[in-house]
Amino acid sequence: MGIYSSTYLKNLAATKQKLFETKMFNARNVPITTKFDIFLSHSFLDREEVKGLYQELTDFGFSVYVDWIVDPQLDRANVTKESATLVRSRMKNSKTLLLAISTNATLSKWIPWELGYVDGNTNKCAIIPVSKDSIPPKSFKGSEYLVLYPFIKKLPLKDTKEDKLWVIESEFSYSQFESWLSTGIIMENRNVNIFNI
């Protein structure tokens, strides 16, 4: 698999709906000091894809913050200082921000604020491209400020065929997500073109 497709994520959300509901129930209203591996920035209009991404990322063993899952009391239509303070605290307590770039991402007013805040504080942000096509491309080219960030792709390890997440800057500069999450380093000048795997 390469970049995530909308179809794949929606199907994942549908087939694992009961598991998602259990995870969602357990994630609700956790203390403000709770630490997360990932703050998942997204457009609420793409919530079906986000459900699939949440399922995928938590299946990999990562703790994931999604505002309407963890803090369902937040009202996106009525932003207050209190709600902004809560979201800011959740970002501070997350190791990284992953930005789901999907059909409606450009319509979100929150995404640029969240991305700028986390980038300014941790410098550890990446893009999860979501293609509307059922057969998405192998690579991703961001536009405008998105070209500044690496992107996430799921690929099997060569020896074990076990799927892993990779953080990719270019065809020869990439690292496993777990490694990048702990070090913030993307290995450069690799011998294998990751887009050919």
| CATH code of the domain covering residue 97 | 3.40.50.10140
* Angle (CA) 23 41 79, round 5°: 100
Element (H, E) at 182: helix 177-183
Length of the chain: 197
32 φ/ψ angles, rounded to the nearest 5 degrees:
-60, -25
pTM over 0.85? The answer is yes
pLDDT, tens digit (0-9, with 9 covering 90-100), for 74-92:
877 777 888 889 999 999 9
pLDDT, tens digit (0-9, with 9 covering 90-100), for 149-180:
999 999 887 777 788 999 999 989 999 999 99
What residues make up the domain containing 143? 4-196
Cβ within 8 Å of residue 162, ≥6 positions away: 156
d(CA 28, CA 80): 20
Q: How many domains does the chain have?
A: 1
